[in-house]
Amino acid sequence: MIIYSKNSSLAPGAVGKLETPIKMIIEHESDLLTKKGGVCDWLFNVEKSNKFGETIIGQNDFDVFGATEEGAAAEQDTVADTYKKFIEHIQFMKEFVISAQMMEDANYGIASDAKRRAENFARAYYKTVNKICETALFSATNDSVDFAGTRIDLTTSDDLPLFNSSHVWGSDNTPSANTGTQSNYFAGKLFGTSGAPSTEAFEEILSASSMKLRNMKDENGDPLGYSGDTVILPGNRPALESVVKKTCGSLGSLGNGYNDINLHFGNWNVVVLPGWQASDDRFMIMSSEANKNLAGNMFFNRVPLTVTNWVDHHTGNYIWNGRCRFGVGFGTYKHIILVAANSESAAGASSF
């Protein structure tokens, strides 16, 4: 969605002949990019917001029903707040200028430079949205990351980075007052003991990490039971990418002569993040259902791209300004797991 605002009192007649075609180009380019989607739409929950920021509140679930004697009252249970995470919206802006000479030429058709600038303006907005989501994900072994002149918070409700080996579950607010720690950051031999690409070794570690995700505890300490369905890969590890695609896309089990079925076939979507230039072999697995139900990866759209245009009286140039506000963050860690190669770059990770 793009909102347009024009200061008509500053616009001469020549501007009116340029404004509509440029606006149409931006709208058309925006529609095309929206239909194509991107990292934000694929891996994040996108929601609207009308506040300064958004607070995600977690609660414990009801425990199992208790058996009672005939005529006895039911045991009372309570739902308590167990964690909170605040995600603040950030303002982003960009301008482009069309010179007076270009405006004059545009009276006889849109100048090629003007057209390219208008198209790139819409692309830059969607690039910003997708790149901030992508950067937040692959940087989330840290508690924050610099992005376009601001600092993005990468912690979850327990004040630890999204990927950490000591995440906290439970709270003193829960009836049982049980607490503990669990990991969603692991190190393992992705290619087996030889270090060479091996679909058989990757199939084994994918199964092991899937079990880790499925057994992630809720706030009562019970396994959540979510199944992973998305594998997320760096954009610069061709051997790993090849092995993952073979493992997830082959009907039969690879790496042996037994004609076994491949238990992973048809169960995974593979997403490659081009901006994730990892220094070792690593991958993420995510449950899209857990991501949605538990408010995992969150993108809050506070102010959509709002485009304003005016004429600079000093130069006669036509100025387009774009402004938007949105918030990116993580409400929980229980929907996603990072697995890194067993190397120094995976320091701080739990071992399988």
Total number of domains constituting the chain: 1
Of the candidates 323, 268, 294, 346, the residue with the CA atom closest to the CA atom of residue 92:
323
Residue 25 included in any domain: yes
Q: Which domain, by its residues, includes 200? A: 13-56+85-351
User: Model confidence over 58-78: pLDDT tens digits?
Assistant: 655 556 666 777 767 666 665
Greater model confidence, 262 or 143: 143
Q: Per residue in 231-283, pLDDT tens?
A: 999 999 998 999 888 888 777 666 555 556 667 777 899 999 999 999 989 99
In a domain, 3, yes or no: no
Q: What share of the chain is helix, strand, coil (3-state, %, to 5)?
A: 30, 30, 40
Judged against a pLDDT cut of 50, whether residue 10 lies above it is answered with no
3-state secondary structure of 28: helix
Model pTM score? 0.80
Q: Is residue 62 part of a domain?
A: no
Q: How many CB atoms lie within 10 A of CB 152?
A: 20
Q: How far apart are the first and last CA of the chain?
A: 45
Confirm whether 79 is domain-assigned: no
For residue 336, the model assigns a pLDDT of 98
Residue 34: is its pLDDT beyond 60? yes
Average pLDDT over residues 321-328: 90
- Pick from 221, 228, 207, 223: nearest CA to 285: 228
Closest CA to 43 of 215, 228, 232, 213: 232
Smallest CA-to-CA distance from 341 within 240, 269, 228, 246 is with: 240
For residue 233, the domain's CATH number is 3.90.1690
CA neighbours closer than 13 Å in the CB half-sphere of residue 60: 23
82-128, pLDDT tens digit by residue? Answer: 667 888 999 999 887 877 776 666 554 445 556 666 667 778 888 89
Distance of CA 321 to CAs 29, 93, 96, 218, 311, Å? 17, 7, 7, 46, 11
Residues contacting residue 127 through CB under 8 Å, at least 6 positions apart? none
Residue 65 domain flag = no
H or E stretch covering 5: strand 2-6
Does 308 reside within a domain?
Answer: yes
pLDDT winner (highest mean) among 24-38, 95-109, 139-153 = 139-153
Query: Considering the domain boundaries, does residue 8 fall inside one?
Result: no
Distance CA 234, CA 134 (A): 10
For residue 226, being part of any structural domain is answered with yes
